[in-house]
Structure 1
Amino acid sequence: MDTRQLEYVVAIADERSFTRAAERVFAAQSTVSAGIRGLERELGAPLFERDAHGVRLTDVGEAVVAEARATLQSVERMRELADRQGPLRGTVRVGIFTNLTTIDLPGVMGEFHRRHPEVDLRLGPSPSGSTGLVEDVRQGRLDIAFHGLPDPVSDLLTHPLADSPYVVVLPEAHPLARKRSVSLADLADETWVDARSGFGNRVTLDRALAARGLTRRVPTELSDLGEIPRFVAAGLGVAALPELTVIPAPGAVVRALREPVAWRLSAIARRRPGRAAEAMLALLEERISGL
């Protein structure tokens, strides 16, 4: 057993595909397959089930992947300890929100690259929003992620970055668009456009509505917050979003929300982040905190 085989196991578990896993670890698919077969022989149990629907972990595979992630993280920490005085190297995997246009994320990452040119960056969102990003950090699939859930994540490091009030997004012809501010009660009987369940902004808003004894109907759900104003403009409903996440759209207007509902943007990481991850967290706080 060697660390390369463990990298193969983790990559296949994440990608659910031998082909994509091979691309991720820069190896031939035959090499990855041979490495997994050798590891399965050594362990005496299959790690993956393969069928027409793709690749799935067996029960043994689920347990092995968890240990493989922990082992690879320990190996990375040992390398960092041996190279404490040298430049930062390695890879930082960051879970992002694609709709935070008020934050110059390319600029932040460009600054990180200038400071640490030997660190590779891997950035991407989660289709289940903050809930998925938290789980990806917890399972070691990500080193750092943005986080917008209202509850603290006790088993991870949390770095608060910014607080954003909610605003209301309405079709410009909507009767409420003539008002300077709108209450949640005004909107309760409307049809809504919102993020899918699990997104931090929706969890926060649902709690604010429930605290006031209000319910709503959300017939249109999206996995990209930035698109919500465009769907509102098309007449599919109303929305309430953190101001930081609103991308203006022709045909939609933004109004103040009368109730003081706020959304907190944070960065989360494992309890023992590597040097490169620590540097990324520090830069995010430097460039984003207080927005």
Structure 2
Amino acid sequence: MDLKQLEHFVAVAQERHFTRAARRLNLVQSGLSASIRALEEDLGGALFIRSTRRVDLTPAGEVLFAQARRVLAAARDARHAVTQVHGLARGRLSIGAIHGLAPFVDLASSLGQFRAAFGGIDIQLTLDGSRALIDEVREGRLDLAFTQPSDSPSDDLGSHIFACEGIVVVCATHHRLAGASDLKLADLREETFADLRPEWSLRRLVDQSFAAAGLQRQTSFEVNDMPMLLELAAQGLAITMVPESVATARMADTRGAPIATATLLAAEEPCWELAAVYKGSAGEPLIPVARAFLDLLNLPVVAN
């Protein structure tokens, strides 16, 4: 049993899904499955109960999950302590992020923690669209960007996928789709949609999904703001499609009009990915200041 196996185990335990965990870790699914099987053989028993749509922890897996997170946190703290000894007394950290990064990363809180640990580091933050952020990383104006991975990966950029979310349909609570499951994209083609503008990565993902299925849809509302997108759906003006965590967070917020969700068939469900993108490759590791920030977020770097 080693730290890499524990990272793989924790990813599957958090995602409850081998395919999503493999995407998050930048691994082929067969490699991830082999790693988990080796860990189970080493520990002498099953850690997961596997089904067609998801996996659940066995009692032994529940025990290991708690311990594994502690071990990985201790390893991260040790690396962080060594980084401080080596010295990040001066310097600059330039970070870029897409809008709507929460609930996946609380960027403001994380930057506050980083400032408390490394008071001599100047921090710069830029919010922009995915394509612009990736270009700025490539050109050296940003050290790190939190964005959707590039549609066409290149050798000069590395990335670590840290979120792989299924997309759900959001609608008003009285809508005919409210609470539906195992929908096909074709079931949505007669609906009126509210969408983000075309430069948003989420919009491109939804557009690509419908195009791949040979379907067209009607977008009557285009906005540049995720909360407004969800409010339009809540008011019954349209349906929309967002990552599951975004919908869950909105449903827990009692200040706005209530919303309902519907889920797609697993085979047709788009996966929305978020990645930490940086300049370099496996042979060119992150600069220390960017690595220290990812360590604070507990996002281990795996180069493409």
TM-score (norm 2): 0.59
Shift of 1:236: 3.2
SS at match of 2:178: helix
Q: What is the match of residue 138 of structure 2? A: 138
How far apart are the structure 1 equivalents of 2:274 and 2:113? 20
SS at match of 1:177: coil
Shift of 1:198: 2.6
Alignment CA distance shift 1:114-1:152 (3 Å): farther
Shift of 1:255: 2.1
How far apart are the structure 2 equivalents of 1:287 and 1:114? 21
SS at match of 1:175: coil
Alignment CA distance shift 1:149-1:191 (3 Å): farther
Q: What is the match of residue 264 of structure 1? A: 273
Residue ranges of structure 1 left out of the alignment (5+ in a row): 1-83
Aligned counterpart for 1:116 among listed residues 118, 130, 134: 118
1:222-271 CA-to-partner distances (Å, cap 9, x unmatched) read 22224311121233311111123334142421222223321111011122
Larger radius of gyration: 1
How far apart are the structure 2 equivalents of 1:151 and 1:285? 25
Matched, 1:279 2:289: no
SS at match of 1:162: strand
Alignment CA distance shift 1:225-1:175 (3 Å): same
How far apart are the structure 2 equivalents of 1:110 and 1:91? 15
Matched, 1:165 2:166: yes
How far apart are the structure 2 equivalents of 1:149 and 1:96? 12
Residue ranges of structure 2 left out of the alignment (5+ in a row): 1-84, 251-255
Shift of 1:149: 4.1
**206-215 or 92-101: bigger deviation:** 92-101
Matched, 1:90 2:99: no
SS at match of 1:176: coil
Task: Let me know the Cα RMSD of the aligned residues.
Answer: 2.7
How far apart are the structure 2 equivalents of 1:97 and 1:287? 20
Alignment CA distance shift 1:283-1:178 (3 Å): closer
Matches within 5 A, 1:164-183: 164-183=165-184
TM-score (norm 1): 0.62
Aligned length: 204
Q: Percent identity?
A: 32
SS at match of 1:220: strand
